[in-house]
Each structure stands twice: as structure tokens, then as C-alpha cells.
A and B are shown apart, each in its own frame.
Chain A
């Protein structure tokens, strides 16, 4: 896409998707590609091991994907605005560490375990929103490249977790954990809470990105910051908000993550940022900004989780080659959506 095209796409942002379609009957490869890759993957998996498509297995994979998924929904906003956030993995670890420390400290003082959980969750949200604000402010007010700001934040938060945990593990108080456990393992109508939260966040994210003024401004800024500025869009404020949205998404993911294993270690959330970014790009969001697809991101996350699940369920490939398989599928999935970007 040339610069001109990109700019035009933002003008058409009022009718998302339509600006890119050349005719009504042409297949939109960008939307279709990731779905096709997902379908192939599921088909292949079902042939290799029938367990793969069992409800229990899919439920496991969905629940596991929920953390990266919710974080990736936030990343879709940041990337659509033309930015990038490399600090989400460390932010998740830091938020988890904060939640656990506060819950453990509050448990003996609070009247009920639920109060301790509420205090911990509030603290966890507070730190991620703050981290998002600092990222956003350094990028907009400080005029530093997002890559550098968030790379710095990644290092700072990761070290803080290691320092908090003294290099070991922070473990949630046993009684609190038993109360909190159903948030990951419970659910309604056969769906676990993480899956429900993932779905709800996707619906909400899609609505905000496509149907609200905020979402359209994000895409417009990602297409061309200058044009957006001339159009009287408050560029700095919107960009800053995108990083705060990312922070909130991380906090929601961590809220679901902590009850799973009840611990945070220096390796918690390691490389989640790359998984989230990969999922966003597989889903058809442009890395340079201007076009975001929340549902594409959801499909991207599922593709990534299903690959590692499938590799665990089979013994065809040497486990040394897991990374190579994942890398290959990522590239193929993105290749499948190339025609529309020509």
C-alpha cells in the first residue's frame, strides 16, 4: 500500500473495510487469510490426533489463549495507532507480582478473603494503568520512539519483578487462592470465565475500534499523523489513551492469570509481547498502523495457541523444532493475506 492509499483508507475509516475493497464480490483476503489458516490447522490437527478437536482440549486451549488474547486486543489498538508496546509481558508479570504481594499482605488484615482479593486486583490495575500512562506520556509529551520507551519499560518492570521475588517465586496465600481459584477454573454454561472474558473483550474491542470516534481516530492517526492533526484530532491525547487501553487489557489478563497458578516469577509473561504482536499481525492488522482488526487478532491468538497444543499432542516433530514450526505457520498465515495489500 502506498502512502496515498493509506491516507485514503483513513478517510474511509467511517466505513471500515469498505475503503480497501475493489469490488463487492472480491474476496477480502486480509480477513479471510487468517481464518483459512486456522481452518487448515484445525483440519490437520483433527487428522493427526482426534483428541485435538475434543471439547475438553479446545476449552483448555481457549482458556490458555485468553491471557495473550486479551493483551493482544489492547496491542491491536496500539499498533493500529502506529505505535508498538514491547512492555506488555513485563507489565503482566509486574501486575501479577503486585496483586500477589498486596493480597498476601491484606489477607490477615481484611475481614474476608474477598476484600483481600479486591485490594490486590485494584493494586494490579493501578500499576498497569500507571505504566501505560508513563509509556504514553513519554511517547507523546516526551516525543520518544514507542519502540525505545516500551523497551525501556520492559527492562524496568522485569527487573522490578525479579527484585520483588528475590529471584525466586512470589506465591499467593493458600486460603486466598482457594477463594480466587474459580476465576480461572470456574465458569457458566460449559464455558470457563477466561473464555467468556476473552469473548467479551473481543466484542467490546471490535465495537470501540470500529464504531466509536475514539477507534476511528486511532486508525486515522495510524494512517497519517499529520492528516489526523490537520483534521483537528487530538493526536497526543488519543495516542496516550491507546497505551492506557493496553494497560487496562494487561490488568484484565492478569486478573484471570493469577488464580491459575497463584504465583509470579521472573519468567512470568516472558516473550508475551512478541506473541501478542505476532497474533495482531497474523490477524491482518498493519504493523505500520492505520488498519486494525480485532477479530483477526482473536484468530491470530488461536492459531498460535493451537500450534503449540498440536505439537504437544503429537510426537511427529522433534520437540527441538517446535519453534521452527511456529515460525513457519506465522509466516504462512501472513502470506495468505498478502493479495489485498498489493
Chain B
């Protein structure tokens, strides 16, 4: 940690040193969660792709990527971004509340702020906000389950890492789910394959009848598939995940698994949209101000091709 901070500080000093030498340098800091789960892995992949692309294209553009394993680390990271030399900050906050004050501080020093996905707790700090629709991720899953279980039924849900995102998704899911459908339980599997496997094993022991499983995460879905296979209960229920992981999208696209008929998109590539637009705003002076909400859509056999990225790690 300390080493990392030193390195970042050193990088920033280095940048500050060259500032006088070259004119019109545009410096953008990008702060995102570390690749600790599949979706965040995709996020890192798309961020790096976008940064490489932009820096090759515009030599006067300098982009620094920081990844943090938790909110505290992220606060440290952006405090280390010497804001005096920064043109813009693109940030996907780990948690809204703890990041609000530090980002506000940076914005008050005249740094352009782009917030990705999770909003800050106070409105008006950022100039540009791009986000996926978390409540809709839950809602789309619930609507699909409603359509498949018109006469009611029993579903088990899985929660993610306890965060605001998880709360919003679960809330969206519960609100949209038909009252005739009962949620048997909702345990945390932390958007993790291993934990999805273990939690599903226990659900299978506990509930003799399950009609559907909502995992809200495609990585978790893979764990659920294996738990079902081990218990000999494959095909008894269908599984709705989320995120758009390539293995799952491939299953949906090819229709190779009856119990994974759909998933819900939540593209980690939105970070690339954010970085590209922010960079273009300064390089090409395109207007950028306001909010951009990416639609969250149900990925089905028909449209799966649009969501399939075989080269992405996620």
C-alpha cells in the first residue's frame, strides 16, 4: 500500500516535472476498483484498452490508471492524485458516501469530474455521470421470472458484496416480482463463483422445490450450475444472472443450456465510454455535461450476439 502510494506520488511528481516542458498536456486520472471479481476484471480490461487506444492517438494525453481494493484505498489513491496538475478525474466509486467528500475536494480545485456507475451521495459534484441502471438489473430479472412463472412459484435469490449496488438491485428485483412468487431466501454469495456454489449447495439441501434462481451475477451462475449438477437437480429450475459474462452470453446465444435461457446486461465496458468521452471533451472540445444512463436489457438468444466479446476476460 505504502509502496503503491509512493509510486503513484512519484509518478505524479514526474508528470508535474514535465508540465512546464510541454504545452497543453491533458492529464486524466482514472480510479476504479481492482480486479477482484469477474465483472471488475472486465472493467479493468476495458479501461486499459481505452487508455492504450487514446494515448496512442493523442500524444499530449496522459492517463493514469489507479485500482483500489476497497473504498479506503480509493480515497487514498485520489488524494494522491495531485489535483493541481490534473485536468480531469474519471472515477467509479467503490462506495458512494466515503468517496463523496474527497471527490468534492478535487472538483473544487477545478478538476473536471466524470463519475461512472455508482453516483456520489451529493448531487452536482460531477459534470458528467454515466451509469448502468442497477434497479433495472433486478427488475429485468424479476420481469423475466414473472413471465416464466405466471402461476406463481418459489425462487431463491443471491445477494452480492454488501454495497449500495446490491441493495438497489435487490430492491428493484423485489419490487417487480409478482406477489404470487415467493422468495425463499437471499444469502450473500458476493458475486463469487465459489460462494455461489456453496450457497446453492445449501439451498438445495434446504428447499425441496425451487423454480428459479436469481444470482444477479454471471460468475455466480457458473457456481450454481455445478451445485445443481452435483445434486442431480439440473433442469429443475432456471437461473437468471447478470453482467453479461462471455461464457454465459455464449450459453444464451447457442441455447446450449435450457436452465440458462437469459441473462441481464450490465456492461463493464461503460468505463471505456466514460474515459473516451472525457478525453474527447478536452482534445476535441465535444460538449459533455449531464447524465447518461445505459439501458439495462435482457440478453436473449436473439440479441446475444450484440453482447458477446470473446476477447474480454469477462
Enumerate chain A interface residues (CB-CB to B < 8 A).
49, 51, 54, 56-57, 60, 64, 162, 165-169, 171, 185, 260-261, 263, 265-268, 270, 308-309, 311-313, 315, 319-320, 322
Contacts and interface: CB of A to CB of B under 8 A. Distances in A.
Interface centre among A51, A168, A268, A270 (most CB of B within 10 A): A168
A125 B35 CA distance: 26
B193 A49 contact: no
A263 B37 contact: no
Given A49-B206, A263-B222, A320-B162, A268 B38 contact: no
Across the A-B interface, the 9 shortest Cβ-Cβ residue pairs: A168-B313, A167-B35, A167-B41, A312-B202, A168-B41, A167-B44, A166-B313, A57-B205, A60-B201
Contact of A309 (B37, B202, B219, B230): B202
B42 interface: yes
B203 interface: yes
B188 A168 contact: no
A267 B190 CA distance: 11
A319 B41 contact: no
Contacts of B197: 260-261
B45 interface: yes
B215 interface: no
A57 B202 CA distance: 7
Given A171-B247, A260-B226, A165 B313 contact: yes
Contacts of B186: 319
Interface string B294-313: 00000000000000000011
25 contacts: A51-B206, A57-B205, A60-B201, A165-B41, A165-B313, A166-B41, A167-B35, A167-B40, A167-B313, A169-B38, A169-B313, A261-B223, A261-B226, A265-B37, A265-B41, A265-B193, A266-B34, A267-B36, A267-B37, A267-B194, A270-B36, A312-B187, A313-B205, A315-B185, A319-B186
B41 A266 contact: yes
A268 B193 CA distance: 9
B169 interface: no
B187 A319 contact: yes
A312 B199 contact: yes
A315 B207 CA distance: 13
A308 B198 contact: yes
A64 B198 CA distance: 8
Interface in B146-203: 159, 162, 185-188, 192-194, 197-199, 201-203
Given A166-B45, A167-B35, A313 B202 contact: yes
Interface centre among B41, B45, B186, B219 (most CB of A within 10 A): B41
Contacts of A311: 187
Task: Report the interface size class on chain B.
Answer: 35 or more
Contacts of A261: 193-194, 197, 222-223, 226
B314 interface: yes
Nearest to A322: B188
B45 A312 contact: no
A165 B222 CA distance: 17
A240 B198 CA distance: 35
Contact of A168 (B45, B203, B222): B45
Nearest to A166: B313
A191 to B, nearest CB: 15
B35 A162 contact: yes
B231 to A, nearest CB: 8
A168 B35 CA distance: 7
B38 A265 contact: yes
Nearest to A168: B313
Interface string B33-60: 0111110111111000000000000000
Contacts of B36: 266-267, 270
A17 to B, nearest CB: 35
B198 to A, nearest CB: 6
A139 B9 CA distance: 32
Given A168-B314, A263-B222, A312 B198 contact: yes
B215 to A, nearest CB: 14
B171 to A, nearest CB: 15
Contact of B230 (A185, A263, A322): A185
Given A167-B40, A168-B45, A320-B162, A263 B202 contact: no
Nearest to A49: B206
B204 to A, nearest CB: 9
Given A167-B313, A322-B188, A313 B193 contact: no
B194 A268 contact: yes
A17 B129 CA distance: 65
A29 B201 CA distance: 34
Contacts of B34: 162, 266
A146 B195 CA distance: 30
B205 A56 contact: yes
A228 B50 CA distance: 59
Contacts of A168: 35, 38, 41-42, 45, 312-314
Nearest to A312: B202
Contact of A60 (B188, B205, B247): B205
Contacts of A263: 193, 222
B188 A319 contact: yes
B192 A267 contact: yes
Interface centre among A57, A261, A320 (most CB of B within 10 A): A261
Interface centre among B162, B192, B202, B247 (most CB of A within 10 A): B202
Contacts of B42: 167-168
